[in-house]
Amino acid sequence: YLTGLATARAQATRDGARRLVKTLAGTSAPTLLMGNTDADEAVRMPLDEFLRSHSLVSGASGSGKTTFVLDKQKALLAGNAGFGILDPKQDLVNGFLCLIGRRLAELGRMEARDLRRRIVFLDFSSRDPISPYNIFARWPGADPDFFAGSRTDLLLELLPGADGVSLGASALLRRAILLLSEFNLPITWLDALLRDGNLRTRLVGRTKNTAVAAYFTQQFPNLPKQTVAALSRRMEALFSSDTVRLVLAGTSAPDFRALQDAGKIVVVNCFGRDINRSVRQLLQALVLSDVAHATFARRNHGTPFLWIADEAQNLFVTQHLRDHMMDLLTMARSFGTHLLLVSQNMTTALQDARTLSVLHTNVRWAFAMRGEPADCSFLRSALPVTGRRPKPRTHPFEEPGFYSLNEERGMVQDEIANLPDRTGYLWFKSRSQEALRVVTPELVLPHGDELQAAIDPLRHDPTFGARLSRKEYDQRVGARDAEWLGCPATETTDLGATLADAYRRKRGGEA
């Protein structure tokens, strides 16, 4: 009887875990395997709950976060769920491309074609094919002044040295965005607008915005040259990479509202060998800003869409981004969009207590792997404890003692720093007061050159991911340049080849 009293709490924890595992596995709806408990019981999560929940996955580099997320993406590929990947360091994108290649090889011709049609690949590191992303292309139905103000704030917050830009330069950038976005002209034309009087006169003569026309006619000529030069220099940081310049100079931009409503699979890669860290963060922030605005414009709220963001701590670095994240965490659920945030050090990077509270409050489930114990402080009250962890004895005749529950929780939290790979605490907040210690499924993928060889056919295929071949991209850009700058459009060498290329892209790679 006394032994039963002593082990009651530990037994209650084990019984609660078994009941939770049994409840999760008992549903007739599709499920995802999240991992296995210490008793080798499979922990499964309803697929619909996975897609309709905000969630947080944390852990140090090498702990197994990417493998855990890729395993879930592999399961999603087998169904019709819509989801997106926002990756600033390419590991997640490369692994997912490998999974796509394997899945396409398993499917028949028609099923493979349908899957390819669902995928949209936005790759800032590719010169050919190209994923056009004109960040001055207004969102469908966007108010011009709101769009220009939002883009101005984001660019000036994140571009290197932009915090030193004067109020005059900020006003100039906002007016320039208003003017260029009216005609769907890209950010790469900003320098030409500021320096080329003929282009500026042509644009001002055709604009319907009288306030912008008055600004460039009356105030712009009186701006100090240093102000114009300072703004131009700040924008040049975006174009230090040729691939980013090509993408941003495109004639169109993804419609994230339509992509979410249609349940597409959206893959965004912000990493490239010649893309520096600050530009990667800016690109990630630009995509997040567009996703946030598109989410609240969705029409098909019944179709769930899950955004998986790696290095998610970057999405909270400025007040502008924190506002977007707060809106998504608190309101996006009503529009059918949810977030899976993957991070190494969310708590350490995010010092704003209010934002952290909103994040932890709105997360429906969390998975903490090996990492900084402070990042798992929100899990402390849910960590499984026994109440029977013995205190060390200083001499053999000392009366045995045990740590309190609070002390034991602190020790378990500290031990998170030394968890084995692929091991962590999984907490279903809406289903249980205690987290489960689980080992994630193993996923075997190639590495290094072998992985690159496996994904290169998809990376270089212009019919994959709704991208443009370099030839077609040059034709579109050339036609636009000819209209505004009087430059000859890029010659079309073979009309038949051009039509065949467009047909293959539309058919998803099937000639």
Of the chain, the end-to-end C-alpha distance in Å amounts to 76
Share of the chain above pLDDT 70, in %: 91
CA distances from 135 to 276, 289, 346 (A): 19, 11, 28
pLDDT, one tens digit per residue, over 94-119 is 999 999 999 999 999 999 999 999 99
Confidence of residue 318 (pLDDT cuts 50, 70, 90): confident
* pLDDT at residue 485, rounded to an integer: 78
**HEC per residue, 254-271:** CCHHHHHHCCCEEEEECC
* pLDDT at residue 140, rounded to an integer: 84
CB 256 within 8 A of CB 290: yes
Q: Which tokens hold the place of 251?
A: 């004639």
pLDDT, one tens digit per residue, over 64-89 is 999 999 999 999 999 899 999 999 98
**How big is the chain by its Cα radius of gyration, in Å?**
26
* pLDDT at residue 16, rounded to an integer: 67
The whole-angstrom distance between residue 410's C-alpha and the CA centroid of its chain comes to: 33
Handedness of CA 122, 158, 178, 150 (dihedral sign): positive
* pLDDT at residue 504, rounded to an integer: 59
Residue from 263, 310, 266 nearest 100 by CA:
266
132 phi and psi angles, rounded to 5 deg: -60, 135
* pLDDT at residue 450, rounded to an integer: 95
Place of tokens 């939002």: 150
Handedness of CA 49, 51, 52, 53 (dihedral sign): positive
* pLDDT at residue 11, rounded to an integer: 65
Q: pLDDT: is 186 or 160 the higher one?
A: 186
Distance CA 74, CA 100 (A): 8
Alpha helices in 159-297 (DSSP H): 167-182, 190-195, 197-206, 210-214, 225-236, 242-248, 256-261, 277-295
The CB-side HSE value for 481 (13 A sphere, CA atoms) comes to 16
Distance CA 363, CA 185 (A): 39
Least confident of 68-82, 155-169, 231-245, 305-319: 155-169
Alpha helices in 33-158 (DSSP H): 47-51, 65-77, 91-106, 109-118, 144-158
Residue from 181, 183, 101, 195 nearest 149 by CA:
181
Widest CA span of the chain, in angstroms? 96
Least confident of 19-33, 115-129, 443-457, 470-484: 19-33
Angle, to 10 degrees, between the axis of helix 144-158 and the axis of helix 277-295? 150
* pLDDT at residue 6, rounded to an integer: 66
Distance CA 199, CA 197 (A): 6
Q: Which 3 state secondary structure label does DSSP give 341?
A: strand
The whole-angstrom distance between residue 374's C-alpha and the CA centroid of its chain comes to: 24
Distance CA 139, CA 154 (A): 15
CB 416 within 8 A of CB 384: no
* pLDDT at residue 491, rounded to an integer: 39
- With residue 87 as reference, give the H or E element that holds it: strand 82-87
Number of H helices, E strands in the chain: 22, 11
* pLDDT at residue 407, rounded to an integer: 87
Place of tokens 């605490």: 425
Judge whether residue 393 has pLDDT over 50: yes
Q: pLDDT: is 126 or 23 the higher one?
A: 126
CA distances from 205 to 179, 197, 209, 214 (A): 11, 12, 10, 11
What b/e string do you get for 144-178 counting C-beta neighbours within 10 Å, with b at 16 or more? beebbebbbbbbbbbbeebeebeebbbebbbbbbb
**How high does pLDDT run on average in the chain?**
87
pLDDT, one tens digit per residue, over 50-60 is 999 999 999 99
* pLDDT at residue 489, rounded to an integer: 40
Mean pLDDT score, 437-462: 93
Distance CA 197, CA 55 (A): 51
Q: Which 3 state secondary structure label does DSSP give 122?
A: strand
Distance CA 408, CA 413 (A): 9
Q: Which tokens hold the place of 60?
A: 């140090």
